[in-house]
Amino acid sequence: MPYFDHNATTPLAPVAREAWLRASDEFWANPSSAYREAARARLRLDAARDTLARLLEGQAKRVVFTSGATEAANAVFAYLASTLPPSARLAVNPTEHPCVLAAAGAFFPGRLDWLKVDADGVVSPDALRASGLLAAASAGRREQVGAVVVMAANNETGVLQPWSELARICADAQIPFVCDASQWLGKLPAAGLGEAGWVFGAGHKFGGPKGSGFLHLPRQASGFAGQRGGGQENGHRGGTEDLAGISALVAALSDAEQRLVMLESARVLVRTTFEQAVVSGLPGARVIGAGAERLWNTVSLQLPHTENTRWVAKLDARGFQVSTGSACATGKGGPSHVLAALGVDPVAARQVIRVSGGGATTPDEWAALASALIAVRTELAPSAASATVKL
């Protein structure tokens, strides 16, 4: 069945499954124990940490393995809330993933300042410089802005943020930069993320197992302990490490990085061809974020006539799996906060679906989905005149 919801989760990569099974069979001992079997497990854990650090161009001693991005986000904001002045505020990109927005709001209640985004949802470096948000921090008044929070790539629209330049601006102003790289990893090179600041990701977004993830600490993270316990992860996260999950995560990301040798431009061409086919075949359809650089695998489509849930159901019946947006928000009601930040009105937002392919998705599958969308229109068109989008 053609699967077009990779931004929600990905199937376990064969190399990840192999790594998980091997670690479960051969390296099952507790890495913190003192005997030889435990030492072998410790060496395997250290090797995984070294590999991930190399991919990120970071440092192994700053890698903390977690259960995913949600845990990492909560740990980061808990630490910042405990170390920044009590009145410190966060400058936050309004199109962040719900796990980031919820954690930031919980630890900094009433102290979130929304960064300005353009019509495609991009936080411009020039806009950040001109905002005045960083001026107070540069002048030593850290209570004004304690950290800047901007993801690497949006999970709903695929829009890319200039995270590297934003991180440099924040570093120059001596302000922490927090970056959710979950959607970037496995689709674009991980190199450089290790020096961006607080960076985290989730293994199941790039072929790793669910319940696996990591956090890469900035150089200034004195006393960070995301989880208290036995002092594992260099004292940063208590609890016996899930070596099988960690091995699978690192194997999946390493494999994805090797597959990036396929030119991104070729993948973008496949996505662009799909978009052109849909827009030309479905009058009234449009691509959200079309004016920005986007992930090669992601298309956010506003479709004509009726609610997105009807399109999803019709496509599912034809064997195509797409979504209405973030999997975390599905079924919770209300239009997407990402689309709202882009100025999309609530009625139009209820007409948007998200298509997200994977590295193994073929051009023929993209073409077949375009044909299916056009065919579904003929099923929905008879009722289009009377159909309304209910809020």
Active-site residue numbers? 328
| Cα separation values, 278 from 22, 242, 284, Å | 44, 44, 10
Q: Do residues 335 and 239 share a domain?
A: no
> Count of domains in the chain?
2
pLDDT at 261: 67
Buried b (16+ CB within 10 A) or exposed e, 353-368: bbbbbbbebeeebbeb
Last residue in a domain, options 239, 259, 279: 259
Segment 303-324 mean pLDDT: 94
Indicate the SS3 state at residue 310: helix
Q: Look at the pTM and tell me if it is higher than 0.85.
A: yes
Return mean pLDDT, the chain. Answer: 92
Report the distance separating Cα 165 and Cα 196, nearest Å. Answer: 9
Report the distance separating Cα 360 and Cα 30, nearest Å. Answer: 36
Identify the DSSP state of 5.
B
Last residue in a domain, options 199, 224, 259: 259
132 domain residue, yes or no: yes
Last residue in a domain, options 259, 274, 300: 259
Q: Which domain holds residue 78?
A: 14-259
Instruction: Catalogue the E-assigned strands of the chain.
Output: 63-66, 90-92, 112-114, 147-149, 177-180, 198-202, 213-216, 286-288, 298-302, 352-356
Whether residue 327 is predicted with pLDDT greater than 90 in this model: the reply is no
Kindly report, residue by residue over 22-54, the tens digit of the pLDDT: 999 999 999 999 999 999 999 999 999 999 999
Report the distance separating Cα 315 and Cα 312, nearest Å. Answer: 5
Q: Do residues 252 and 313 share a domain?
A: no
Q: Residue 128: give its domain's CATH number.
A: 3.40.640.10
